[in-house]
């Protein structure tokens, strides 16, 4: 079907874009699950000696869950704004994680696994930025 002036041309979504959108959706679902557990968990969470209030975990999980779910949907639909949102969200999210680590990690074990967490943070940032910076991917997200 040919596109008219009023309807933008359809762009074929590469499978790689779908995979990245699923990875970003995964972050959204995990954060929404964290928010739900912090809000409506069966009480187990309330017995743990947490350094963060459950309300803080619930609110942050909800905000990040909505942000990543919307970003994933936008990436999948090839909406131009979603590329910039994904780049900003993944960077801010990893920064938020590290602020939480620095301020609230109290056990020796939690600090011993920081190198692993650093590696995961670098992989997420490098993976998302690297992929969304590819020339053909950038072109997909240009306004039609």
- pLDDT computed for residue 7 by the predictor: 47
Q: Could you report the per-residue pLDDT of 124-134, keeping only the tens digit for each?
A: 999 999 999 99
Instruction: State percent of the chain over pLDDT 70.
Output: 87
CA distances from 123 to 37, 71, 106, 126 (A): 27, 19, 25, 5
Residues in the chain: 144
Q: Could you report the per-residue pLDDT of 2-28, keeping only the tens digit for each?
A: 555 554 556 688 999 999 999 999 999
Half-sphere exposure of 135 toward its Cβ, with a 13 Å CA cutoff? 0
Asked whether residue 33 carries a pLDDT value surpassing 80, the answer given is yes
d(CA 120, CA 124): 6
Q: Could you report the per-residue pLDDT of 78-98, keeping only the tens digit for each?
A: 999 999 999 999 999 999 999
Q: Give the global pTM.
A: 0.82
Helix H or strand E segment including 18: helix 15-40
Name the pLDDT band for 144 (thresholds 50, 70, 90). confident
- Report, in this order, helix, strand and coil percent for the chain, each rounded to 5: 75, 0, 25
d(CA 143, CA 104): 42
- pLDDT computed for residue 75 by the predictor: 96
């Amino acid at each position: 079907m040919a596109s008219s002036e009023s309807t933008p041309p359809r762009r074929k979504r590469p499978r790689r874009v779908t995979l990245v959108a699923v990875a970003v959706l995964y972050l959204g679902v995990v954060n929404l699950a964290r928010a739900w557990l912090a809000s409506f968990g069966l009480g187990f969470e309330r017995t743990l000696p947490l350094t963060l209030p459950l309300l803080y975990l619930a609110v942050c999980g909800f905000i990040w869950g909505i942000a990543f779910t919307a970003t994933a949907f936008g990436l999948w639909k090839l909406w131009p704004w979603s590329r910039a949102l994904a780049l900003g969200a993944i960077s801010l999210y990893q920064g938020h994680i590290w602020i939480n680590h620095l301020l609230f990690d109290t056990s020796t074990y939690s600090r011993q696994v920081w190198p692993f967490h650093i590696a995961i943070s670098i992989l997420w940032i490098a993976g998302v930025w690297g992929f969304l910076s590819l020339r053909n991917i950038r072109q997909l997200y240009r306004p039609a």
